[in-house]
């Protein structure tokens, strides 16, 4: 049987060490990109650690300083002695070119990550065979290690000239002044909301929050529907509702037939064709749902990658965040707030990794009910201040009619409480509850209550 070799590249490791001795700026880059453990050969690990220590002390590292450093610490023989160091000094001097050096970095890092995967699954198999830990504990350990490996793949230096950033910003400002949205932005379909936010952008982590019965799920469904009508593929993870319940809401929204009529099957002969037309329109919409109760962050990451790759979706929503776990059960030795903070940061990273907008539906704390002013604030985001910190956009929904019988019960205020890319303000929308439909407020003069900062365009 052919021997299976552990992934490693001695030549690439030697080339990196050699290049670092010839050009200190390359050593600085290697220190950022690599860890000692990324080198497979123990001699190379020791040499890289010694070079890092020397660099921190002197910023200049050469062969003589390295030999003296190793000799003082009785490490010279452990790295192969003078003969092996001479071999490294004389090897592949061409590796000191930046283009080749980056290739060698990529090779060493790739091999290291593959070894990490092998070690993780080998240990997982060993623990499973030993049968001493329960399955959840073994999965918990494996998932954490795989997640850590994934985070390592994102570790990279990406310095960009400030002039390029400034020119890109100028182009966006000019586009906004002419009334255009940034080319990468996608519209929610609510004109005044888009005017404040500038639309949703790739990589944004967006929170939609409200107390129960305000209509936050219906609001996000309306955004999905509006985007789908513009031909923008989107996807939704529903952690609470069944597929039928979601379809019923969408059919009511699309057909204009009250949801209770559809639910109870009390349609008239005139309404049946309208329902059939709605079904036909929904079949043409690039909107995909996943109904997975008890799903964890790792499953969402995997499924999100698949749906982006297969269908090209531009926005993913999760309904709702408080039903998520780090894994199939509550994180051990972790408060719920700490767990939700990790979920929030993972979803923010995922949005950037996939280049999509991710919308998380969230509940707000019951503390709102104890105040005279029932409007939610960012501080009311339930169970975690990390949502407030991580989010690029936070939309807080408030229905005055929920607390004031004299208020218009169809009015829902959407406060843009946080917006990294633009303004903050409050937008009025109609919520036709019987149809699960949101629409722009009919009175143009009152549709935007107040705005802080300049509008994006």
Q: What is the pLDDT of residue 328?
A: 45
Q: Please tell me whether residues 131 and 225 are part of one structural domain.
A: no
Which of 209, 221, 262 has the alpha carbon at shortest distance from 431?
A: 221
Q: Please tell me whether residues 142 and 193 are part of one structural domain.
A: no
Rounded to an integer, the average pLDDT of 194-216 is 89
At 229, which CATH number?
3.40.50.300
57 compared with 138, residue with greater pLDDT? 138
User: Within 10 Å of residue 191's Cβ, how many Cβ atoms?
Assistant: 14
403, burial (CB in 10 Å: exposed 0-12, middle 13-18, buried 19+): middle
Q: What is the pLDDT of residue 66?
A: 85
Q: Does 442 fall in a domain?
A: yes
Q: Please tell me whether residues 114 and 211 are part of one structural domain.
A: no
Q: Does 174 fall in a domain?
A: no
Q: Please tell me whether residues 205 and 129 are part of one structural domain.
A: no
Q: Residue 23 — pLDDT band, cuts 50, 70, 90?
A: confident
Which two three-digit tokens encode residue 393? 């956009």
- d(C-alpha 355, C-alpha 368), whole Å: 34
Which two three-digit tokens encode residue 38? 């990324």
Q: Does 382 fall in a domain?
A: yes
At 68, which CATH number?
1.10.860.10
Residue 174 phi/psi, 5-degree rounding, is -65, -40
Q: Does 378 fall in a domain?
A: yes
Indicate whether 345 pLDDT > 50: yes
Half-sphere exposure of 394 (CA within 13 A, CB side): 22
List Cβ neighbours of 249 (8 Å cut-off, separation of 6 or more): 217, 218, 221, 259, 436
Tell the residue number behind the tokens 């907008």, with chain if given.
357
**pTM of this prediction?**
0.66
Q: Please tell me whether residues 134 and 236 are part of one structural domain.
A: no
Q: What confidence tens digit (pLDDT) does each residue in 387-423 have?
A: 778 889 999 999 888 887 877 878 999 999 999 877 8
Indicate whether 125 pLDDT > 70: yes
- d(C-alpha 374, C-alpha 143), whole Å: 41
Per DSSP, which regions of 292-369 are E strands? 315-319, 357-363
- d(C-alpha 2, C-alpha 75), whole Å: 36
Structurally, the chain folds into a number of domains equal to 2
Least confident window among 15-24, 105-114, 137-146, 200-209: 137-146
Q: Does 160 fall in a domain?
A: no
Q: Please tell me whether residues 220 and 301 are part of one structural domain.
A: yes
Last residue of a domain, one of 153, 169, 201: 153
Domain with 447, as residue range(s), is 185-452
Q: Please tell me whether residues 207 and 149 are part of one structural domain.
A: no
Q: Does 68 fall in a domain?
A: yes
Q: What confidence tens digit (pLDDT) does each residue in 4-13 have?
A: 789 999 989 9
Q: Please tell me whether residues 77 and 211 are part of one structural domain.
A: no
Query: Torsion angle, CA of 210/213/214/217, rounded to 10 degrees?
Result: 70
End-to-end Cα, the chain, rounded Å: 67
């Amino acid at each position: 049987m052919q021997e299976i070799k552990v992934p490693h590249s001695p030549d690439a490791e030697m080339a990196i060490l050699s290049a670092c001795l010839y050009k200190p700026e390359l050593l600085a880059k290697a220190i950022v990109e690599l860890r000692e453990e990324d080198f497979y050969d123990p001699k190379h690990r020791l040499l890289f650690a010694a070079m890092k220590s020397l660099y921190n002390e002197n910023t200049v590292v050469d062969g003589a300083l390295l030999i003296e450093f190793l000799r003082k610490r009785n490490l010279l023989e452990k790295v192969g002695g003078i003969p092996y160091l001479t071999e490294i000094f004389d090897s592949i001097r061409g590796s000191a070119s930046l283009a080749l050096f980056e290739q060698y970095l990529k090779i060493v890092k790739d091999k290291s990550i593959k070894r990490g995967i092998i070690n993780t699954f080998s240990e997982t198999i060993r623990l499973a065979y030993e049968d001493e830990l329960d399955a959840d504990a073994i999965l918990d350990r494996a998932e954490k290690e795989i997640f850590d490996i994934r985070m390592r793949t994102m570790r990279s230096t990406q310095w960009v000239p400030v002039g390029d950033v400034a020119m890109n910003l100028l182009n966006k400002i000019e586009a906004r002044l002419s009334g255009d949205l940034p080319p990468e932005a996608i519209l929610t379909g609510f004109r005044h909301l888009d005017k404040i936010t500038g639309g949703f952008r790739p990589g944004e982590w967006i929170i939609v929050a409200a107390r129960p019965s305000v209509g936050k799920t219906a609001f996000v469904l309306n955004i999905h529907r509006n985007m789908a009508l513009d031909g923008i593929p989107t996807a939704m993870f529903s952690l609470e509702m069944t597929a039928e319940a979601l379809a019923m809401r969408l059919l009511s929204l699309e057909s204009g037939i009250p949801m209770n009529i559809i639910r109870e099957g009390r349609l008239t002969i005139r309404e049946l064709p309208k329902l059939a037309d709605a079904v036909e329109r929904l079949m043409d919409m690039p909107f995909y749902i996943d109904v997975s109760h008890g799903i964890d962050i790792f499953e969402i990451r995997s499924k999100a990658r698949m749906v982006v790759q297969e269908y090209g979706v531009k926005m993913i929503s999760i309904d709702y965040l408080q039903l998520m776990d780090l894994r199939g059960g509550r994180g051990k030795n972790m408060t719920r707030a700490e767990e939700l903070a990790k979920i929030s940061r993972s979803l923010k990273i995922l949005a950037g990794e996939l280049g999509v907008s991710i919308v998380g539906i969230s509940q707000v704390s019951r503390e709102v009910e104890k105040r005279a002013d029932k409007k939610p604030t960012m501080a009311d985001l339930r169970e975690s201040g990390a949502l407030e910190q991580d989010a690029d956009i936070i939309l807080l929904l408030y229905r005055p009619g929920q607390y004031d019988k004299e208020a218009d019960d169809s009015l829902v205020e959407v406060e843009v409480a946080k917006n990294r890319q633009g303004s903050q303000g409050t937008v009025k929308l109609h919520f036709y509850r019987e149809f699960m439909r949101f629409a722009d407020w009919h009175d143009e003069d009152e549709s935007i209550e107040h705005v802080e900062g300049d509008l994006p365009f």
